[in-house]
Amino acid sequence: MTWRNKPILSVLLIVIAGIAVDAGSKIWAQKTLLSDRFHQREGDYPVCGNETEEMARSHFVRVNASPITVIPNVFRFRYVENCASSFNLMTTVSESFRFPFFMIISVLACILIPLMFLKTPDKSTYMLFALPFILAGALGNLIDRMVYRYVVDFVDWYVVFGGKEYHWPTFNIADALIVIGIALMVLQLKKDSMTSSSKTVSTPSVDPLNDAATAVSPLPETKEND
């Protein structure tokens, strides 16, 4: 394991910039996409509690939100508090299990990803850059859980069909960073697969019968001097 020949500076910049952009965007969302009434009364509504408390908090957020439409009927910024995982997974799991589970997973990810980076071959460029994107996203959401107990989401893609809105799960910059990292991992796997296939095709075939015949072929005759 070695750090030699790895893009350490670039990786550090990706992680630091990713965390900074994610945190800044969430602060912007809290200040811009919520009414003054929300900030005045949010202490009256517990976050990520039991099912009844979460429903009350969700309704409170919804009625005090001030979405910003970017593309009508397609894309807008809408503030959401997500007590579950990325893209609202595990929403039906109790908070008593959900919170420590996500904390442990996030901490493990932050420990294992640098180790994976250390073991990744220098020539695996896509993988070397995939890991810092995933680390930045994991740290961004981990910071949210440590500070708020929930993750701030605000990117809302949706379509309107038959007068009804159909939404992709609301997400944030940290989630996008993780998706970018996974996409780079897929590219690395594809590249490795193509390289492996190329080596297999270019390897000359071996004919054991021909080799055996060559091995036992008689030596050329030499003329004896008279």
- Extract the tokens encoding 115: 């180790």
Catalytic residue chosen out of the listed positions 175, 192, 207, 226: 175
Cα–Cα dist 26/120, whole Å:
32
For residues 49 and 150, is the Cβ–Cβ distance under 8 A? no
For residues 30 and 77, is the Cβ–Cβ distance under 8 A? no
175 is catalytic: yes
153 is catalytic: yes
C-alpha neighbours within 13 Å on the C-beta side of residue 191: 11
Catalytic residue chosen out of the listed positions 153, 156, 192, 211: 153
User: Residue 209: CB partners within 8 Å, gap ≥ 6?
Assistant: none
CA angle 95, 58, 18 (to 5 degrees): 75
The catalytic residues are 153, 175
